[in-house]
Chains A and B, each alone.
Chain A
Amino acid sequence: MSNGLNEDGLKMWEKNRLRVQLNSYKGLLGILPALLFMLFFFIGGSFHALCLSIGSSHQISLLGEEDLLWAYKELMNPSFFQSVAVSVGIAAAVAVLSGIIGLLTAIFLATKSARWKWLHIIFQLPIGIPHLLAAYLLIQVFMQSGWYSRIAYYFGWIDKLEEFPVLVHDEWGIGVLLAYMWKEVPFIVLLIYPFILKLISDWRDQARALGSTFSQTVRWVIIPILLPMWVGGMWVVFAFTLGAYEIPALIASTSFRSIPVEAFHEYSQFGLERQPIAIAMNVVLAVISLLVGSLLIYMQMDWYKRGRRVW
């Protein structure tokens, strides 16, 4: 009798355990659709495109033999390398500048009271505005016949339209930089503001009790703890800027050879023949971002290995 009860109990226990295990697997199943989606479309798509760029058999060289890597060989020239440098340079500049300005702004906002709420709303405005229109908005004000040059004229700072500096379609990509900053500074603020708020409330009193001023607290406590998050945000900006088309297409001068613009030009203008070139250009961009990312991840792993835990 008691034995039977025990067995029943055991069965019950076994059943419960099984249910719990099953539930935990069922929970894990939830990842599958999204994971398969990403594997199939993102990784599969990239891989498929890569194959398209390599195995385009219809491109046969004069000698009659297939040249699988012709697209990549064609890219091996100084002008393309220069484009790479320009694209990476502008993306890095955008990432670092908006990272720093965004961080300072977020700290500023976090130390202000509710009376400054309206400033938050202003800083969130550009989030909802697409890059295409951001580019246009800035062209509107920064070009030589734009609104700012009119204001400058009105105040008597300039007499002629030509005296206003060339900021749109300029050689140095200043217009591109400005337009990206307009979009990405608010993005960084949006991303790190809640964390800064929490870090300040967590650490300000403690650091002050040890005699530290607010700026020391920011430099020695808040920024180091925020670092992984902040650098991650800058990486997102870097990757996005590296691959984005709209802003350089609208603001950059034709001599400013941004890779996404050139790639899309090849892709949309010259038909299937030139598609491998467009893909190859994008492959280069993806690889660069991957390399930068791997470096960052390696640095963070190294950091953790030495025992630091931040979050």
Chain B
Amino acid sequence: MVKKPLEITLIGILTLFILLPFIPLVIWSFTKHWPWPLLMPENWTIESWTYLFSISGRAFEGILNSFIVAAIALLGNIVLGIPAARALAQNEFIGKNIVFSILLAPLFIPYTISIIGMHDFALRLDFLNDYVSTAIAHILVTLPYFVATIWFQYRLMGKKLNEAASILGANEWKIFLWIEFPLLVPSFLLGSFLVLVVSYSQYLPTWIMSGGTLLTLPLVIFPYANSGNSSIVSAYSLLFFAPILLLLIIYFLLLRINNRKNTNESR
């Protein structure tokens, strides 16, 4: 009983630690001048927001570039990740652990070195454009998350449904489309969300692969963050959250639609 208040206090501190930093961020984006020790600034302005969307602010360019790279990365993840997760979950074979560890390796070993190597490859194959080569680097970073998520769902599913469908005469594609994919939807959505968010936040891989020329949002923001122009960085940060929030909403909406469909079917 003595432990309870302590427990609540610690969780409270942790919650504030996570939540509080967002408050001054919002405030800063609406002011230019906010001297210590004022808790709230005296003058408010939207200058930073107008700058963001001006030519030199490059916000649109950043969002667009980030979006293109993330979309290619997601596509690559789907093409590479789903068959791999399926094979790993449904088959037992010699060396499976090794194959699995190779697929998950970028989670456990810092990957900067291989991206430097990939950049050198890409230089030699100079027909690859920056979007594609950057997206490849992002696939390398995100594939472990995607494979692990999908694999976990496949494991939960087991092989029984497949066997049943196979006995009833369905071929591989039909099994996948009619049986597996509908059951895979929740983890597919979660995996895709992770891929998009992780790709969206990459700084170093993007910089290295494009030689610092492909201005995704993090590359646009970084110099400002380093310069200490609080107002502009804050506005950028909030802009950065917008697509993530949007993705989160889309994710929950799709998940809900999917759940509703399933419960309707089961009725």
Interface residues of A (CB under 8 A from B): 23-24, 26-31, 33-35, 37-39, 41-50, 52, 101, 104-105, 108, 119, 122-123, 125-133, 135-138, 140-141, 145-151, 153-154, 161, 181-182, 185-186, 235-236, 239-240, 242-246, 249-250, 260, 263-264, 267-268, 275, 278-279, 282-283, 285-286, 289-290, 293
Contacts and interface: CB of A to CB of B under 8 A. Distances in A.
B99 A35 contact: yes
Interface residues on B, range: 35 or more
B204 interface: yes
A251 B10 CA distance: 25
A27 B90 contact: yes
5 contacts: A29-B87, A35-B99, A41-B136, A45-B114, A48-B120
Interface stretch (B50-58, B67-75, B219-227, B257-265): B219-227
Contact of A250 (B19, B108, B111, B226): B226
Contacts of A31: 83-84, 87-88, 99
A243 B233 CA distance: 24
Interface in B203-258: 203-204, 207-208, 212, 218, 221-222, 225-226, 230, 233-234, 237, 240-241, 244-245, 247-248
Contact of B197 (A24, A101, A128): A128
B240 A41 contact: no
Nearest to B115: A45
A133 to B, nearest CB: 5
A271 to B, nearest CB: 11
Given A29-B87, A246-B203, A290 B109 contact: yes
Given A38-B106, A239-B108, 20 more contacts: A27-B90, A28-B91, A42-B111, A42-B140, A45-B115, A47-B117, A48-B120, A49-B116, A122-B18, A129-B244, A130-B218, A133-B201, A137-B22, A140-B25, A140-B230, A239-B109, A244-B204, A246-B222, A250-B225, A275-B116
A29 B140 CA distance: 20
A248 B55 CA distance: 30
Given A161-B37, A250-B226, A39 B102 contact: yes
A137 B237 contact: yes
Nearest to B194: A127
A37 B112 contact: no
B112 A105 contact: no
B63 interface: no
A278 B244 CA distance: 33
Contacts, number: 236
Contacts of A236: 107-108
B228 to A, nearest CB: 9
A254 B220 CA distance: 23
Interface string B15-39: 1011111111100100000001111
Contacts of B14: 101, 105, 185
Nearest to A42: B114
Contacts of A39: 102
Nearest to B147: A34
B240 A133 contact: yes
What is the predominant secondary structure among interface residues of chain B facing chain A?
helix
Interface of B: 7, 10-11, 14-15, 17-25, 28, 36-39, 79-84, 86-88, 90-91, 93, 99, 102-103, 105-118, 120-121, 136, 139-140, 143, 147, 166, 172, 197, 200-204, 207-208, 212, 218, 221-222, 225-226, 230, 233-234, 237, 240-241, 244-245, 247-248
A149 B197 contact: no
A278 B24 contact: no
Nearest to A138: B21
B93 A28 contact: yes
Pick from A38, A52, A235, A245 the residue with the most CB of B within 10 Å: A38
A87 to B, nearest CB: 10
B218 A123 contact: no
Given A33-B80, A132-B222, A52 B197 contact: no
A286 to B, nearest CB: 5
